[in-house]
């Protein structure tokens, strides 16, 4: 399926603090090129924002018939279009911003992105979330919104420790009683960011609240889905994407439900036109 991957939309997020991004969050959009309505996915990136590996995974999903929106998660702190590098400086910056931005601001971003997709004329109204690393945690929190029917969380960091955001004190596990989305969770056993005890804590909480979930632990390192660098595992990438597409296909496509649709939101090409 041919796709479009050159569009963006700039959203004013209520309550967003002014900064280099001016309080406006940029969404990068990926969608099938042919006319039609498709389920919408909010894809939350790792700490480096919308890098080329993130764009390639978003394009893959769009090619399977989804309208994908990828937010710039640090829009209050970085100019629009900024992608941090996969190096020590980029890692330090991304990790610092992860505990500088308030959890409420991450949640406001998620609500704005879901609102955008729910109103988009090319969206059926069926919504899902996905994310990797920090984005896996954000995808989980976004799935606490009752509009989200399915979520795919890959090695979500800080979920077990409750250390997301300013003050390093989030309520993600406490709020799991609100989770109605069917949720896929995938972890690497060799990932030091989510150790065995942390994975057990998450799973015990899922069982405690009676969540609908699918759980996989694989022999992989942190960031094994990132298709560049020494930890990339192509076999695990294909397997994990297969689990995700099966979930989204079953939950977002086979229900037959169509959500509300309204006038198109403004979109811009990646080159700014």
Please identify every residue annotated as catalytic.
133, 191, 222
Q: By the 8 A CB rule, do 16 and 23 touch?
A: yes
Tell me the C-alpha distance between 52 and 226, whole Å.
Answer: 9
> How far, in Å, CA of 132 to CA of 18, rounded?
27
**C-alpha span between 72 and 88 (Å, rounded):** 20
Contact 137, 131 (CB under 8 A): yes
What is the helix (H) or strand (E) element at residue 128, kind and residue range? strand 123-132
Would you say 136 and 158 are in contact if contact means Cβ atoms under 8 Å apart? no
Sign of the CA dihedral running 241, 48, 227, 34: positive
Which of 158, 206, 153 is closest to 184 using CA atoms?
153
Three-state DSSP class for 213? Answer: strand
Bridge partners for 107 per DSSP: none
């Amino acid at each position: 399926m041919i796709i479009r991957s050159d569009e963006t939309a700039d959203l004013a997020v209520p309550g967003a603090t002014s900064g280099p991004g001016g309080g406006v969050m940029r969404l990068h959009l990926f969608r099938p090129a042919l006319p039609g309505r498709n389920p919408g996915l909010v894809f939350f990136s790792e700490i480096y924002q919308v890098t080329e590996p993130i764009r390639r995974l978003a394009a893959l999903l769009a090619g399977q018939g989804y309208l994908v929106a990828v937010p710039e998660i640090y829009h209050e702190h970085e100019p629009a279009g900024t992608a941090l590098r996969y190096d020590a400086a980029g890692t330090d910056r991304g990790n610092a911003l992860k505990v500088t931005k308030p959890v409420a601001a991450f949640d406001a971003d998620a609500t704005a992105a879901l609102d955008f997709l729910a109103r988009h004329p090319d969206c059926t109204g069926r919504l899902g979330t996905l994310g990797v690393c920090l984005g896996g945690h954000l995808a989980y929190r976004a799935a606490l919104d009752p509009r989200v029917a399915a979520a795919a969380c890959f090695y979500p960091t800080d979920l077990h420790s409750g250390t997301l955001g300013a003050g390093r004190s989030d309520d993600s596990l406490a709020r799991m009683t609100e989770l109605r989305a069917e949720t896929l969770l995938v972890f690497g056993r060799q990932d030091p960011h989510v150790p065995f005890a942390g994975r057990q804590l998450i799973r015990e909480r899922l069982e405690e609240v009676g969540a609908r979930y699918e759980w996989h632990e694989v022999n992989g390192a942190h960031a094994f889905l990132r298709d560049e660098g020494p930890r990339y595992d192509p076999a695990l990438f294909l397997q994990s994407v297969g689990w995700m597409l099966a979930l989204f296909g079953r939950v977002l496509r086979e229900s037959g439900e169509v959500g509300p649709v309204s006038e198109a939101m403004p979109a811009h090409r990646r080159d700014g036109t």
